[in-house]
């Protein structure tokens, strides 16, 4: 396989609606935690009412991963609540602070409100755009770049890299992952920005490794599931 | 077209376009606002119209106007918004105009909450609006089925010249699943000349089309409502849809459940099968007309001792289950609301307690 994912400082996860930002942010936090990195995870999704990072707060608490969330009484509201603790997290990110933003430009707008905090001297800031090429509107390089422009304009931040998250949930095959990887490499080339990693659900990780792709693979253990499915069991990475 | 990953709300929006509906009026409300968000850009690609009304009441009459003009039209909302539309829905039934209404239910009463619910069952299946009106009500359990039902809804609305409602809980709108769409269907109601006020000169031989629900003469109103009743009876005869799951062999318990709640039930049924306990499931795909006969026959199986109606509500569909069983089997309700969804484990315990 092609190395581990190496991230430090402030890491902002952006992307279009349903690109899998939250699942990626959660699994990225789990991955880094398992590698001994001190991680904190902030839920900045102010626009999406369901399947938010806050739904994994119990798992995170059990692992000792601190989450920055709206106040408990407002967790299920569709109100734009931004806890002041987020500003503190950005000023003092510690080893790694992952910020999960909402979808599209609308969801990324919250980041603009934090722009001053991001400008702190010495801040290490990386912004990764998650792409699932099986979602409408991010199926071509041009569409992904257009989405990047929308997000950058709304967030007042520059995307600094890509995360490939090609999947069709339980119907995903290795071919989908390869197809997604190829699009991400083309996107990386067209944008001049690096590809941080691609993702593969746990059952497809071995096959994905065998492809000999030139980028790290983030294992996805699906945590945000409908009530008839169980979240994938969490265990430390091999 | 190959499969794409879509939210239910997005798939509903795209399905309407694939069904040839190029007219959408709506007012945003969680958890269905993605339909409006999607159509705000998608309608421009297909030269369609999306106009946001100043309220759901206004939207229901924008629907009335467009339907009266003979074009395919639909709207989407969530529980409190559907309450506001109830007046227009009654007028559409009275004037016999076809349109499609989508209700992505949230918890109530009042403003309730934004999480999934099935608490508008009674409202939907009893016609939503005032007067002797009924809607044909379909309830999808997956994103793919939601898309297919939207595409079925338009021709059905036109067949009966009556509004059709798609009743989904918040999960149907918010969850993502792979979905694929067929090619475009025809874009205009084939029978619109029977009602549309489209400017065609009917003076030579045929009666002109009037869009109205006002009948001051009691005999005329009675006759009109008898005619509507005959349409609803025809729906009962021709449009019942349901899925039977694990009903081939013997089972001691029959579950009746619809929408995403039925998928939780299936998880429980599969787990129980592994423990040697057989449970059958009837999933109504149409809530009006209700699959009376299918439930009655499934419950009448000699091995079946009890029937469970499992809902994300405080007990609404259970009345229909009891009505169609005529006391042949004991019926129990189990449910939760407000965004709490009964878990597979709770259903397993419930079944074990009743066998």
Contact between A107 and A53 (Cβ < 8 Å): no
| Domain housing B74 | 4-193
Q: What is the pLDDT of residue A235?
A: 65
**A235 belongs to a structural domain:** no
CA distance B39 to B296: 42
**A4 belongs to a structural domain:** no
Identify whether residues B172 and B278 lie together within a single domain.
no
Q: Which of B45, B176, B259, B341 to mutate to test the interface with A (most CBs of A within 10 A)?
A: B176
**B287 belongs to a structural domain:** yes
CA distance B142 to chain A (A): 11
The answer on pLDDT for A46 being more than 80 is no
CATH code (residue B20): 3.40.50.970
Identify whether residues B168 and B77 lie together within a single domain.
yes
Domain end point (choices B165, B193, B221): B193
Q: What is the pLDDT of residue A108?
A: 82
The answer on pLDDT for B31 being more than 70 is yes
The answer on pLDDT for B209 being more than 90 is no
**B94 belongs to a structural domain:** yes
What count of Cα atoms within 13 Å lies in the side-chain half-sphere of residue A182?
A: 6
**A139 belongs to a structural domain:** yes
**B257 belongs to a structural domain:** yes
Give the pLDDT band of residue B185 (cuts 50, 70, 90): low
Domain end point (choices B155, B178, B193): B193
**A157 belongs to a structural domain:** yes
Cβ pairs bridging A and B (under 8 Å):
67
Whether a cis peptide bond, with omega within 30° of 0, leads into B294 is no
Local structure of B94: helix, strand or coil? helix
CA distance B247 to A62: 41
Identify whether residues B128 and B255 lie together within a single domain.
no
**Per mean pLDDT, which range of A120-134, B74-88, B248-262 is the poorest?**
A120-134
Q: What is the pLDDT of residue A1?
A: 44
Q: Which of A136, A137, A201 to mutate to test the interface with B (most CBs of B within 10 A)?
A: A136
Q: ipTM of the assembly?
A: 0.88
Contact yes or no for A50 and B171 at CB 8 A = yes
Give the residue-averaged pLDDT of B335-341: 91
The answer on pLDDT for A238 being more than 50 is no
| Domain housing A213 | 9-220
Per cent of chain A over pLDDT 90 is: 62
pLDDT in tens, B125-182: 999 999 999 999 999 999 999 999 999 999 999 999 999 999 999 999 999 999 999 8
User: Minimal Cα distance from A47: which residue of B?
Assistant: B30
Domain end point (choices B193, B211, B232): B193
CA distance B320 to B171: 23
Which of chain A's residues have a Cβ under 8 Å away from the Cβ of B260?
A: 226-228
**A84 belongs to a structural domain:** yes
Q: What is the pLDDT of residue B136?
A: 98
Q: What is the pLDDT of residue A22?
A: 92
pLDDT in tens, A61-113: 899 999 988 777 777 777 767 778 888 888 888 999 999 988 777 778 888 88
Q: What is the pLDDT of residue B205?
A: 57
Give the pLDDT band of residue B58 (cuts 50, 70, 90): very high
Give the pLDDT band of residue B309 (cuts 50, 70, 90): very high
Rg of chain B over Cα atoms, rounded to whole angstroms, equals: 21
Q: Which of A21, A228, A229, A231 to mutate to test the interface with B (most CBs of B within 10 A)?
A: A228
CA distance B14 to B150: 9
**A231 belongs to a structural domain:** no
**B202 belongs to a structural domain:** no
The number of domains in chain B is 2
Scanning B234-253 for CB atoms below 8 A from A yields none
Give the pLDDT band of residue A115 (cuts 50, 70, 90): confident
**A3 belongs to a structural domain:** no
Q: Which residue from B6, B175, B341 is facing A136, i.e. has the nearest CB?
A: B6
Answer with the residue of higher pLDDT: B176 or A49. Answer: B176
Q: What is the pLDDT of residue B104?
A: 98
User: Minimal Cα distance from B269: which residue of A?
Assistant: A228
**B216 belongs to a structural domain:** no
Give the residue-averaged pLDDT of A213-234: 91
CATH code (residue A38): 3.40.50.300
Q: What is the pLDDT of residue B166?
A: 98
The number of domains in chain A is 1
The answer on pLDDT for B32 being more than 80 is yes
Per cent of chain B over pLDDT 90 is: 90
**B235 belongs to a structural domain:** no
């Amino acid at each position: 396989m092609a190395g581990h994912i190496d991230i430090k400082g402030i890491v902002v996860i952006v992307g279009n609606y349903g690109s899998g930002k939250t699942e990626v942010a959660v699994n990225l936090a789990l991955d880094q935690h398992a590698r001994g990195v001190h991680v904190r995870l902030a839920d900045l999704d102010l626009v999406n009412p369901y399947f938010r990072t806050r739904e994994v707060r119990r798992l995170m608490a059990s692992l000792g991963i601190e989450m920055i969330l709206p106040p408990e009484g407002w967790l299920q509201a569709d109100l734009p609540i931004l806890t002041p603790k987020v500003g503190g997290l950005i000023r003092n990110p510690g080893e790694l602070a992952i910020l999960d933003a909402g979808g599209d430009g609308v969801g990324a707008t919250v980041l603009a409100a934090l722009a001053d905090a991001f400008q702190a001297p010495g801040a290490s800031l990386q912004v990764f755009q998650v792409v699932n090429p099986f979602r409408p509107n991010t199926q071509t390089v041009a569409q992904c770049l257009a989405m990047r422009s929308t997000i950058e304009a709304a967030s007042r931040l520059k995307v600094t890299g890509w995360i490939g998250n090609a999947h069709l949930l339980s119907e995903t095959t290795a071919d989908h992952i390869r197809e997604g990887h190829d699009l991400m490499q083309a996107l990386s080339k067209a944008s001049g920005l690096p590809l941080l990693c691609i993702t593969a659900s746990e059952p497809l990780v071995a096959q994905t490794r065998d492809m000999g792709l030139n980028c790290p693979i983030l294992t996805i253990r699906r945590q945000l599931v409908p009530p008839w499915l169980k979240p994938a069991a969490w265990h430390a990475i091999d | 077209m190959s499969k794409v990953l879509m939210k239910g709300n997005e798939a509903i929006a795209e399905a309407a376009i694939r069904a040839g509906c190029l007219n959408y009026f709506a007012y945003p409300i969680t958890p269905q606002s993605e339909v409006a968000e999607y159509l705000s850009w998608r309608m421009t690609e297909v030269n369609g119209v999306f106009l946001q009304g100043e309220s759901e009441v206004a939207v229901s009459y924008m629907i009335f106007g467009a339907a009266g003009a003979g074009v395919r039209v639909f709207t989407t909302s969530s529980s409190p918004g559907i309450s506001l539309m109830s007046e227009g829905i009654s007028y559409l039934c009275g004037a016999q105009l076809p349109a499609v209404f989508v209700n992505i239910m949230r918890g109530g009463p009042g403003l309730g909450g934004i999480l999934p619910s099935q608490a508008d069952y009674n409202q939907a299946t009893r016609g939503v609006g005032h007067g002797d009106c009924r809607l044909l009500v379909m309830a999808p359990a997956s994103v793919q089925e939601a898309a297919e039902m939207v595409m079925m809804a338009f021709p059905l609305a036109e067949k009966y010249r009556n509004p059709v409602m798609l009743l989904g809980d918040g999960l149907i709108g918010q969850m993502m699943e792979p979905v694929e769409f067929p090619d475009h269907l025809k874009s205009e109601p084939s029978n619109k000349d029977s009602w549309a006020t489209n400017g065609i000169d009917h003076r030579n031989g045929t009666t002109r089309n009037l869009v109205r629900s006002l009948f001051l003469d009691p005999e005329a109103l009675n006759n009109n409502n008898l005619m509507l009743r005959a349409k609803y009876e025809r729906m009962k005869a021709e449009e019942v849809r349901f899925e039977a799951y694990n009903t081939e062999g013997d089972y001691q318990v029959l579950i009746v459940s619809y929408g995403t709640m039925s998928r939780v039930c299936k998880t429980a049924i599969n787990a129980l099968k592994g423990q040697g306990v057989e449970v059958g499931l009837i999933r109504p795909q149409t809530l009006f007309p209700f699959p009376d006969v299918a439930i009655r026959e499934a419950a009448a199986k000699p091995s079946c001792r009890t029937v469970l109606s499992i809902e994300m509500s405080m007990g609404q569909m259970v009345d229909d289950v009891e009505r169609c069983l005529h006391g042949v089997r004991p019926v129990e309700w189990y449910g939760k609301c407000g965004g709490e969804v009964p878990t597979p484990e709770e259903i397993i315990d419930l079944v074990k307690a009743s066998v």
